[in-house]
Amino acid sequence: MIIIMLGAQGTGKGTIAGLVSKETGFPQVSTGDIFRKNISEKTELGIKADEYISSGNLVPDEITVPMVKDRLTWEDAVNGVILDGFPRTIEQAEKLDEMLKEMGKKVDLVINLVTPREEIIDRMLTRRVCTNQECKTIYNIKLNPPKVEGICDKCGSKLKQREDDSDSEAINRRLEIYEEKTSPLVEYYDKKGILKTEKVSLEINRMGVDVANDLIKMLQK
């Protein structure tokens, strides 16, 4: 089962993917997490990726695609995987289709998350993430705060604000890039008949955990 999480930054892709991963055993493959790990370790890949990420731009395919291809061959991804943050463009989607075809697989389901822009910006400015790479639990100091300020409930590690979440101008730039390059994927997967759109918003009192629970029930049928 190959599942893709679509949606602008701050819509809850990572949270939903993590909850579904826990229940199904499908690994959550986040290019963002892999980039951040390499950046913190100052690897060659990390240094190159950081140049693009810090300026609010997408990491180019020559860095991203080979990394994802390698990750899909890991043993834990044999029965299924949840792709969070990839593909981001039509070109990447086509390359993913080619990769999967070589492996005798295909994309089975695409979840498209939609959230009002003002909510996205507020969520990202108030988002905090666990610094423990084995945990990576995400909090929101307004909607889902930790019991102890600045400390992860699950592992006790410190929480931090991602550098790319601290500047509203950079956030707006990232959202513009999403609209320009990533939103066309909605039409791409809709034509394939595998797209499911979910609105995640305080306006309708439907948050990421609600979407995750419904998705888990659907997958377990």
**Active-site residue identified among 69, 173, 196, 206:** 173
Residue 162 bears catalytic tag: yes
3-state class (DSSP) for residue 163 = helix
Cα distance between residue 30 and residue 82, in whole Å: 8
Active site residue 127: yes
Q: Spot the catalytic one: 36, 71, 123, 127.
A: 127
Residue 54, SS3 per DSSP: coil
The Cα 155–Cα 153 span in angstroms is 6
Q: Which of 37, 105, 162, 199 is catalytic?
A: 162
88 in active site:
yes
Residue count of the chain: 221
How many separate helices (H) and strands (E) can be counted in the chain? 9, 8
Can 71 be counted among the known catalytic residues? no
Q: Are 57 and 99 in contact (CB under 8 A)?
A: no
Q: Looking at 13, 36, 71, 174, which residue is catalytic?
A: 13
* Cα distances (angstroms) measured from residue 173 to each of 58, 137, 167: 11, 25, 10
- The catalytic residues are 13, 88, 127, 162, 173
